[in-house]
Amino acid sequence: MDYGLRDQIRRAVVSIPSNIAEGDERETDKEAVRYFYIAKGSSAEVLTQAAIAFEIGYIQKETFKEIEKGCIEISSMLSKLISARRKG
């Protein structure tokens, strides 16, 4: 696999829990929600990069499907977290 793409995927993957943790430590719900949206964006970035990796033959379909499923689940959980913190 291309080292640049691999590193970009790794950075985006690490960004997801990092932004969730940082958001959770913020003083206001508004600040927290901002970081949760950043984490959601990183999840979309991982999915896009995985799709590119699949299309150019760097990963197999099964691997892409696992990544896709995880990204969809994470995005859904973040949407619920965002909704809960907005009501907070």
Question: DSSP labels for 23-69?
Answer: HHTSSSHHHHHHHHHHHHHHHHHHHHHHHHHHHTTSS-HHHHHHHHH
* pLDDT above 90: residue 12: yes
* pLDDT above 70: residue 46: yes
What's the average model confidence in pLDDT over 51-76?
Answer: 97
Cα separation, 22 vs 37, whole angstroms: 12
pLDDT over 90 percentage in the chain: 93
Q: What is the pLDDT of residue 88?
A: 64
Please list, in sequence order, all residues whose beta carbon lies within 8 angstroms of the beta carbon of residue 46, skipping any fewer than 6 positions away: 9, 12, 13, 16, 67, 71
Residue type at 52?
A: I
Quick: pLDDT tens for 27-39.
Answer: 899 999 999 999 9
Cα separation, 17 vs 46, whole angstroms: 13
Which residue, chain included where needed, has tokens 């499923």?
A: 69
CATH number at 3-87: 1.20.1440.60
What's the average model confidence in pLDDT over 12-33?
Answer: 96
Q: What is the pLDDT of residue 48?
A: 97
